[in-house]
Structure 1
């Protein structure tokens, strides 16, 4: 991890590994951190608002499938918020004080920590997006399998698995696979994007993990949307609770689109640079990194704005089709209270439906 073996930087003529490529000071005393300040402030504010809205929504919901989705969204918003707090604090501190990294961090511990944070908080939104796509795919295509075998605590466990995997990838450079280095203009650290040895391996791992997550999200979300359209338009369209399903899929699709637009340029750029052996283009790296940062700012607004309660305020005529469905099949509400197949083929309670007058009988299929 550290090229310097002496206890303090001034006593050693050796250059620590994280400063071996770009060594401060860089002479950017007049560099402004305005853009970083705006990004951090806007992102932190947005995620705090979304977190409050999510907590209130989770406390009110009685739908198991929706509670699963809210747990994943909560993990996503929490990750984005912490990422902006950690990395934003370091970057803004540099622009305000213009401290000398080599004097402050002679053994690269601080630089390694920031590099790990960049990797961890960068991968988490992509991996959580894939996890949410898997959860919705199971919830829409295999509703009974999910409802009978997956308690709410399982969703929390899946979020913890995602965090553990992202953390494991971030720790690889400390184990010798890749390395964290100071990056121009001297305000941040990131892994070394290079075609040499282990740096290439780690660059490919990072890019592949992100791109595979986006691909998984795209494939599973496409299948889920097609299934949902068939349910909505088919003969059994009245047998499913589609209001929350549609709302969740719209939000998930928007999260996927935002992640793809914001992260694909950076991930593809890293892969192309290391596989082609070309020198790193710093300006393009900074440009695509700012694109990726926009993901943490835009994610919370998907849930803040694209909720039924909000949309109905702007479009009073917008109504989900539950009322019309219930009028066609009025006994759904009564049977919904005790529906969802349980062990042994017996019906048991899963997700209560809203009260509607009942006269007939039919069997609902719940998500």
Structure 2
């Protein structure tokens, strides 16, 4: 006959057995596990994203350009995602640091752990996919300005943001559907995907990491081509009448977002791939202490992505740049980036 608590213990082991709780308590004095990291980063990130959201809403009301409007919608989706990601995860992680509650007692069925793991995956993958989506939209807008009859409408832009959210949601639900599992991570304050060499964990970890790496690489390729095109058009003498400054402003912001995402995310994504591929199935059941600590450090770096994203838009707006550099020329009116079109076509487009 089984003891009465055996089923609960089995459930706890399913999400609480990746690291020893005693290791977390022994490392309580370690600087990387300090509660002030999570508290400070969380508050700065929430305030930054809230401020950026207010600026975005204010800017969108003054816009007449549909291309710029759709770009701001993607930015708004990114800021909302970062804000909600910090709010949801901090609401669990920060209380743990100050109360040190027992997960096995508070969450014996792993429901809170699964929710936190889902949130980490969902709010982590969304910014990378949104960055690739924004890069694709700007690539078409700059390199194929007449391949679409009109620019993206606001409704269609929000629909694309919704599709990104939906895809990331499905990805985050995979462990709850049986592919991999979410487990408590060092120092016991958060849950994430499991880096143990089980087949399901390996597949899910690779899916998460490779999708993120692909998003970053796609953003890099598309943004590079768009920047090269802008540089060529910007120095074209026939393009004096074009809306070059607005396109440059959007690309500067987009490249800044891409650089931050690359610096903050690539170490974690590469680390995940290395960890799940360097062990054969069945070799390990508990993560080594140094692996747990490195994973925590990389997650700290990822947090900076959510903190710095809004400041890219706040600081690299044309209104701010003109205050820093007053000699920046005023915004001319333009229609397209294609230097080969006759002036009559350009004038007709303006009248439309």
* TM-score, normalised by the number of residues in structure 1: 0.84
Counterpart CA distance in 1 for 2:334 and 2:193 is: 55
The Cα shift of 1:311 comes to 1.1
1:21 and 2:21 aligned: no
1:254-292 deviation digits (Å, cap 9, x = unpaired): 000000000000000110111112865112111111111
1:68 maps to: 70
Secondary structure at the counterpart of residue 126 of structure 2: helix
1:165 maps to: 167
Counterpart CA distance in 2 for 1:118 and 1:42 is: 18
Secondary structure at the counterpart of residue 123 of structure 2: helix
Given that residues 130 and 164 in structure 2 are in contact (C-alpha distance below 8 angstroms), is that contact kept between their aligned partners in structure 1?
A: yes
1:63-92 deviation digits (Å, cap 9, x = unpaired): 001001000000000000000001011110
Secondary structure at the counterpart of residue 144 of structure 1: coil
Given that residues 231 and 240 in structure 1 are in contact (C-alpha distance below 8 angstroms), is that contact kept between their aligned partners in structure 2?
A: no
The Cα shift of 1:11 comes to 7.3
Once the two structures are superposed, the pairs formed by residues 100-139 of structure 1 within 5 Å of their partners are 100-139=102-141
Counterpart CA distance in 2 for 1:11 and 1:138 is: 55
Counterpart CA distance in 2 for 1:51 and 1:9 is: 48
Counterpart CA distance in 2 for 1:324 and 1:161 is: 32
Where does the alignment leave 5 or more consecutive residues of structure 2 unmatched? 281-286, 336-341
1:151 maps to: 153
Counterpart CA distance in 1 for 2:334 and 2:214 is: 40
1:37 maps to: 39
Given that residues 22 and 181 in structure 1 are in contact (C-alpha distance below 8 angstroms), is that contact kept between their aligned partners in structure 2?
A: no
Secondary structure at the counterpart of residue 123 of structure 1: helix
The Cα shift of 1:98 comes to 1.2
Identify which range, 15-24 or 152-161, moves more after superposition.
15-24
**Which of 278, 294, 299 in structure 2 is aligned with 1:284?**
294
In structure 2, the CA distance between the partners of 1:283 and 1:27, relative to structure 1 (3 Å rule), is closer
Counterpart CA distance in 1 for 2:166 and 2:117 is: 17
The Cα shift of 1:195 comes to 2.3
Counterpart CA distance in 2 for 1:303 and 1:111 is: 33
* TM-score, normalised by the number of residues in structure 2: 0.87
Where does the alignment leave 5 or more consecutive residues of structure 1 unmatched? 326-331, 341-347, 350-367
Secondary structure at the counterpart of residue 339 of structure 1: helix
Counterpart CA distance in 2 for 1:89 and 1:319 is: 46
1:175 maps to: 177
Counterpart CA distance in 2 for 1:291 and 1:22 is: 21
Counterpart CA distance in 1 for 2:256 and 2:38 is: 25
Given that residues 247 and 308 in structure 1 are in contact (C-alpha distance below 8 angstroms), is that contact kept between their aligned partners in structure 2?
A: yes
Counterpart CA distance in 1 for 2:8 and 2:162 is: 42
More helix by share: 2
The Cα shift of 1:240 comes to 2.2
The Cα shift of 1:145 comes to 2.9
1:276-310 deviation digits (Å, cap 9, x = unpaired): 12865112111111111100000000010101101
Given that residues 78 and 130 in structure 2 are in contact (C-alpha distance below 8 angstroms), is that contact kept between their aligned partners in structure 1?
A: yes
